């Protein structure tokens, strides 16, 4: 990492002698104020203050710096110079991820030292190390996600502003904060651990969330590397993305949800395959909205298809379409494990709605007069209205069977349950084929 020119450049920019002294002085003054009033120098109060400051520095400020690093280069018109330089994809990715928020990590690690010493007064060494590792790992996850999301936005070549950076920051902080909150929630005041069940194996909740944060941080770091490779014009297939989706399907499919308030109608579904289908469908939606959908890419796809270069076709095919294959496999498995035929048809109808929605997103993006950002926004608005206003309007007009065109049905006749979304899939497929033929 030290050998990365990008990392060293960021260190020179972030660490001046004044800033090196300013961070410990400011943090020391805050901790001094926390000990006023006769409190001990290192106790639960300083532990809570140090944890809060770590959240502010690493989770809020650090993710902002990580999300802005590439977007700032694009706005400053220096990103193309870095892409044309001799630096490789891995040193560039590593230097951006750890160099841009390095000053935030400088203050965050000082806070973690104070936190560890403060918590050691009433926790054992193993518990303190687990808590500190959880804070650091989730912070790394948040930074890697923020940088990956900003690189994905750069791939789309959208106009950037504070709203886009804030969006990347918020989306990155939420999953990391959930893992951190759940992991710390598994610690009792006396340092004992709560337990969670994964594939029938009882694991301490804190250690489980720590392992999950480390695994997802590794996937996020691999995603940053892959997106930087794409920026440097390397050929990159979809295997990394498909591997992550399969990992997420297995990870969430193995969790025990017995303590959750699950609707009664969902208790008949097989837990693991149903959760895997939901994860794959969510990933397909996220990729459909996030991946580039320009007309040039589809022309290249058609060219390689006519030339019979199927390896290049597989590299260029939309990731959301490949993710649909994984979602279809999970839906088929879930349907094969349930007994009532009506529930099996409802699972199939749900999968057809996913196909319809993603096809609709591509139809709007392939219009001549629509930019990528506005097309995705319109598609999202139309889908929200279809899933909310459509069923309500059908119920108001007394035509409840028409709700099958807007929402997967569980208690309607079998023909209406499967025929309505199938008709919509055929219509969207026809429109999509027409658009593809026109541009290719």
Report the percent of the chain where pLDDT is more than 70.
Answer: 90
Q: What is the pLDDT of residue 38?
A: 53
- Residue 226, Cβ density class (10 Å: 0-12 exposed, 13-18 middle, ≥19 buried): buried
Q: What is the pLDDT of residue 264?
A: 46
Q: What is the pLDDT of residue 218?
A: 96
Name the one residue in this structure whose structure tokens are 């969207």: 428
**Distance (Å) of CA 342 to CA 62, 346, 352, 415:** 50, 6, 15, 10
Q: What is the pLDDT of residue 81?
A: 84
Torsion, Cα of 95, 101, 104, 108 (10° steps): -60
Terminal CA-to-CA distance of the chain, rounded, Å? 44
Task: Give residue-wise pLDDT tens across range 230-245.
Answer: 888 888 889 999 999 9
Q: What is the mean pLDDT of the segment spanning 25-50? A: 80
Q: What is the mean pLDDT of the segment spanning 139-152? A: 94
Q: Residue 413's pLDDT band (boundaries 50, 70, 90)?
A: low
Comparing 257 with 285, the larger pLDDT belongs to 285
pLDDT of 423 strictly over 60: yes
Q: What is the pLDDT of residue 395?
A: 80
Q: What is the mean pLDDT of the segment spanning 273-298? A: 89
- Which pTM value belongs to this model? 0.89
Q: What is the mean pLDDT of the segment spanning 325-341? A: 85
Name beta bridge partners: 204.
195
CA 58 to chain centre: 18
Q: What is the pLDDT of residue 390?
A: 86
Coil/strand/helix, residue 238: coil
- Gap between the Cα atoms of 251 and 219, Å rounded: 13
Task: Give residue-wise pLDDT tens across range 146-158.
Answer: 999 999 888 876 5
3-state secondary structure string across 165-197:
HHHHHHHHHHHHHHHHHHHHHCECCCCCECEEE
pLDDT of 261 strictly over 70: no
Comparing 426 with 302, the larger pLDDT belongs to 426
297: Cβ contacts below 8 Å, ≥ 6 apart: 316
pLDDT of 340 strictly over 90: no
Contacts of 22-26 with CB under 8 Å at 24 or more apart are 23/103, 23/106, 23/107, 23/110, 24/110
Task: Give residue-wise pLDDT tens across range 147-195.
Answer: 999 998 888 765 566 777 888 899 999 999 999 999 988 887 666 678 8
DSSP state letter for 43 = S
Tokens at 411, concatenated? 């208690």
381: Cβ contacts below 8 Å, ≥ 6 apart: none
Q: What is the mean pLDDT of the segment spanning 289-300? A: 85
Closest CA to 20 of 91, 103, 81, 121: 103
Kindly list the domain boundaries of the chain, sorted by start residue.
1-236, 269-440
Tokens at 264, concatenated? 């009664």
Q: What is the pLDDT of residue 329?
A: 93
319 near 238, Cβ under 8 Å?
yes
Q: What is the pLDDT of residue 2?
A: 62
Q: What is the mean pLDDT of the segment spanning 206-234? A: 93
- Gap between the Cα atoms of 55 and 136, Å rounded: 10
Q: What is the mean pLDDT of the segment spanning 134-141? A: 96
Task: Give residue-wise pLDDT tens across range 352-389.
Answer: 999 999 999 999 988 765 566 688 889 999 999 989 88
Closest CA to 210 of 272, 117, 133, 116: 133
């Amino acid at each position: 990492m030290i050998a990365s020119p990008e990392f060293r450049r960021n260190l020179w920019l972030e660490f001046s002698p004044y800033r090196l002294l300013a961070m410990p002085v400011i943090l020391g003054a805050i901790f001094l104020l926390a000990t006023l009033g006769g409190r001990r120098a290192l106790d639960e109060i300083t532990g809570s203050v140090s944890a809060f400051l770590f959240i502010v520095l690493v989770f809020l400020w650090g993710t902002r710096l990580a999300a802005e690093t590439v977007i700032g280069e694009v706005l400053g018109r220096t990103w193309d110079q870095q892409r044309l330089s001799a630096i490789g994809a891995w040193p560039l990715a590593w230097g951006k991820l750890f160099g841009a928020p390095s000053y935030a990590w400088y203050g965050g690690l000082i806070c973690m030292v104070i936190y560890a010493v403060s918590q050691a007064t009433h926790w054992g060494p193993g518990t303190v190390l687990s808590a500190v590792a959880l804070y650091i790992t989730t912070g790394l996850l948040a930074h890697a996600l923020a940088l990956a999301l900003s690189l994905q936005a750069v791939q789309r070549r959208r106009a950037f502003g504070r709203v886009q950076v804030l969006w990347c920051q918020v989306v990155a902080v939420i999953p990391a904060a959930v893992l951190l909150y759940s992991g710390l929630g598994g610690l009792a005041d006396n340092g004992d651990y709560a337990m969670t069940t994964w594939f029938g194996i009882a694991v301490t909740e804190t250690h489980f969330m720590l392992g999950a944060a480390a695994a997802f941080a590794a996937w996020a770091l691999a995603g940053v590397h892959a997106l930087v490779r794409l920026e440097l014009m390397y050929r990159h297939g979809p295997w990394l993305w498909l591997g992550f989706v399969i990992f997420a399907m297995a990870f969430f499919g193995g969790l025990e949800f017995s303590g959750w308030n699950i609707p009664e109608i969902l208790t008949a579904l097989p837990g693991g395959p149903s959760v895997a289908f939901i994860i794959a469908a969510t990933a397909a939606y996220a990729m459909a909205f996030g991946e580039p959908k320009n007309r040039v890419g589809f022309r290249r796809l058609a060219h390689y298809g006519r030339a019979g270069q199927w390896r290049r076709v597989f590299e260029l095919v939309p990731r959301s379409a490949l993710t649909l294959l994984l979602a279809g496999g999970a839906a088929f498995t879930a349907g094969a494990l349930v007994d009532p035929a009506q529930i099996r048809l409802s699972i199939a109808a749900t999968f057809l709605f996913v196909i319809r929605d993603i096809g609709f997103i591509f139809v709007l993006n392939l219009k001549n007069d629509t930019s990528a950002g506005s097309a995705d926004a319109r598609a999202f608005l139309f889908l929200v209205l279809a899933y909310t206003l459509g069923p309500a309007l059908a119920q108001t007009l007394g035509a409840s069977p028409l709700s099958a065109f807007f929402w997967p049905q569980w208690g309607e006749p079998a023909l209406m349950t499967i025929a309505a979304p199938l008709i919509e899939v055929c219509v969207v497929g026809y429109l999509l084929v027409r658009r593809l033929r026109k541009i290719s």
